[in-house]
Amino acid sequence: MNAPLFYTDTAGVTGLQTLDEATARHINQVLRLKPGENILLTNGLGKKMTAVIQEQGKRTCTVSVTGVEDIKKQTPDITIAISLIKNTGRFEWFLEKATEIGINTIVPLMCERTEKSHFRADRMKNILVSAMLQSRQYWLPVLHEPVLFKDWVTQADAGNKWIAHCMDGAKKNLQISPDSSVICIGPEGDFTPAEIGMALSSGFEPVTLGSNRLRTETAGMVAAALLRGR
């Protein structure tokens, strides 16, 4: 059986390390691990740390990190720029699934038709961390602060730049590429014609995600799966 994996915000060095209270509680009270048992740690930046439990208290756990291994980031680099959603739970669902699939970067967009939404960076990060650990990965996706679509689209840089929209016109099928890719996913009311024009002028190409009309978070998940080849 694989040793359980936990998150730590340390740089990935050997020696004694005191884990945060939430992790300590999970180790001590949920999994009921004991001194001498092995665990794995990651800082979400590619470090895989092997550790042995040393001392435990009611809310504390000290481990000895005995080895550090560098895990390569998944390639090619994939960025999903996706509109925020009024239903925060649905956006959080997308964050979880995109992390499990192995997306590198997520950019929350504020488009002309984006409805007002709450963005709690600390809660969003916890969701990413949980999904990373559940899927036993060692790289945490980069989650940007929300940005206006019109400010972001002209600055986006990648080997492939795609935009998924619902307006009529010629569109390519989205597919795996060996080059870095970024795809824009709009709000439930779709991108406006002006936004689509801005994207096309910035080098984005229109793509289709299939014949069905998808919710924003579903479109984001489908794009993630297609680009990562899941």
Statement: residue 99 has pLDDT above 70: yes
pTM of whole model > 0.75?
A: yes
Q: Which residue did the predictor score with more confidence, 230 or 195?
A: 195
Statement: residue 58 has pLDDT above 90: no
Q: How far apart are CA 6 and CA 48, in angstroms?
A: 10
What backbone torsions phi and psi does residue 142 show, to the nearest 5 degrees? -80, 120
Statement: residue 11 has pLDDT above 80: no
Statement: residue 180 has pLDDT above 90: yes
Q: How far apart are CA 71 and CA 42, in angstroms?
A: 10
Other CB atoms within 10 Å distance of the CB of residue 66: 12
Tokens of 172: 């390519």
- Summarised one tens digit per residue, pLDDT across range 185-195 is 999 999 999 99
Statement: residue 13 has pLDDT above 70: yes
Q: What percent of the chain has pLDDT over 90?
A: 91
Q: How far apart are CA 79 and CA 81, in angstroms?
A: 6
Specify the pLDDT at position 1.
Answer: 64
What backbone torsions phi and psi does residue 207 show, to the nearest 5 degrees? -130, 160
CB 91 within 8 A of CB 117: yes
Q: How far apart are CA 171 and CA 141, in angstroms?
A: 28
Q: What percent of the chain has pLDDT over 70?
A: 100
Q: How far apart are CA 91 and CA 61, in angstroms?
A: 33
Specify the pLDDT at position 12.
Answer: 77
Mean pLDDT of the chain: 95
